[in-house]
Structures are given as structure tokens and as C-alpha cells.
Amino acid sequence: MRILIGSLGRAISFILFYGPGGLRRTLGNFLAFLWFDVFRIRRQVVLNNLHIAYPELGRSARVRLGRRSLQSLALGFLEYSFLPWLTVENYESYFTFENAELLDQILKRGKGVLLLTLHLGHGDLACAAMSLHGWPMVMVSKFFKLKWLNDLWFGMRERLGTRFIAPRDSSFALLRALKGGAVVVIPLDQFTGPPIGVRSTFFGAETGTAAGLAVMAARSGAPVLAAYTYRENGRHIVKYVREIPVPKDITVATAALVTQEFNDELEKYVRLHPDQWMWIHRRWKRFVVS
């Protein structure tokens, strides 16, 4: 079964990768149509989230924006076909790094980098491209229960150079990776409640956000670099924006303040490309402290 699924997936990915970009866009739009307009999976979650973030938009405008975001998400799903075929020789045909010298300068300090980012554009592909470029990439990710599925899914990305660390009890592994000069990717745009999360706002509405990035930055001394990726004219743009300072002596209160600054930074990127963010996630759950 594992061999059959792997062979079938590889054949489909070959067609999608080497086929015209219009094929992927057409299939992506069709999948989004089924998802958003036919089966309406999490459609109301998308519209509710857009109402929170953009209360000035009417329902028809929110539907149009929500549909475009699902088209982007579906296209991203099809673009996983890139993973088996990306190489050092061809990745530059699909990716552009903006302000890459900033990342290089920070890495020269010898403390690694904590990359503050979010689910905008196609982060997995961006991470793969960064690995192929030569940056030592590490990503925190949940693993599947099925070993063969883990081997297939993570194996494709590890082949390109990215290392993965399970989120449970990951502090020591992350500190070691940073000490070794790694670029540790931490998306921070999903809801996290107590005790790991802190009360914060996103688009002016209350939510919970993980404080781990702020705490890890203070403990390790590693710089925090804000970055994001988006699609433009058929290419994936990976943009490194700015370093965000974190105090060395961090408390619960300062961790919350720094985490809010992270949220404010990420909000700017969503506002630049709202059709490419993952609106299907329930970002604004109630933050309840027991």
C-alpha cells in the first residue's frame, strides 16, 4: 500500500510540477469552488473571521475575498507537487528572496535565527527553497501517528534539507539547533490558549497567542527576524522584513508585550495580502483562564 500510494503520488506530482501553471490554477479554482461554494466546509468560519478583521466590508465583498483565499489555499495544496522535483539547479526559477542579506548578516552573529512568520502564501515551499539556497532550516511540526505517512510526508521535505522537531518538549532541541546556527521557523498566527498562550489581540480583536517565541528568544539570545512569503506573477516571494528586539530578562508581562508586537507585525502582512492568508483557521477563540 505504501509503495502504491507513493508511486501514484509521485506520478501526479510530476504532471502538476512539469505541466503549465494554468493547469494548477484551474484545478485549484475548481477545488476551491467545491470546498467553498458546494460543500461549504468552514465557509462560515471564513466569513466570520473576515467580519472580525474587516468589519467595514459588506457580505458580498467578504464572500469574494473568502473565495479568493480558498483558491490560494487550494493552489497551495497542489503546489506540494513541487517537493519531489525541486533541486539546487531549478529552485531559483520559482522563488525570489527579498532582503536576503539581512538574514545573512544576522546569521553571522553565531546565535542562529528565530524566524517569525505566518500561514501566508506557501510557507512549506518557502522553507524548502531556503534549504536549497543553503540556509540551515529547522521547523517545529506535529507528526502523524502512522509511521509510513510520516516517512512519506516529512521525507519529501527532509530530502531538501529541512529538519523537523516535534513540538512536545522541544525546548532543548531548539536551543541546540540555534546554538548550531540554524534558522528556526515559528509560525505565530494560530490560536493558542493558556497556559502556553497569552491574552493578545489580532486585528483589534481579543485572542490567544503562543508566548514561546518570545521566551525562546530571551533564553537563547537568538535574534528574531520577521519574514513572510506570498505569490506574485507566478513566483513565490520570500521577504525578510526586520529584526524585532526581545529583552533578555523576560517576565510574563514582557512576554505578553513582545508577543503582541509580533502579532501587530504579522497583521501588517495579512493586510498586504489578505487573499493569501489562511482564514479557515479559528483564530479568534475565547481566551479562558481556568
Give 35-42 contacts, CB < 8 A, sequence gap 24+: 35/70, 35/74, 36/66, 36/67, 36/70, 37/67, 42/280
Q: How far apart are CA 98 and CA 81, in angstroms?
A: 24
Can the peptide bond before residue 195 be classed as cis, meaning omega within 30 degrees of 0?
Answer: yes
DSSP character string of 80-128: GGGTTT--TTTGGGTEEEESHHHHHHHHTTSS-EEEEE-SBS-HHHHHH
Sequence-distant (≥ 6) Cβ neighbours of residue 6 within 8 angstroms: 152
Please count the CA atoms within 13 angstroms of the CA of 166 that sit on its side-chain side: 6
Handedness of CA 129, 144, 71, 187 (dihedral sign): negative
Q: What string of pLDDT tens digits covers the 290 residues of the chain?
A: 666 766 777 889 999 999 999 999 999 999 999 999 999 999 999 999 999 999 999 999 999 999 999 999 999 999 999 999 999 999 999 999 999 999 999 999 999 999 999 999 999 999 999 999 999 999 888 777 777 777 767 777 888 999 988 877 688 999 999 999 999 999 999 999 999 999 999 999 999 999 999 999 999 999 999 999 999 999 999 999 999 999 999 999 999 999 999 999 999 999 999 999 999 999 999 999 87
Contact 276, 69 (CB under 8 A): yes
Ordered by start, the domain boundaries in the chain are 1-85, 89-290
pTM here is 0.94
Amino acid at 46: V
Contact 156, 109 (CB under 8 A): no
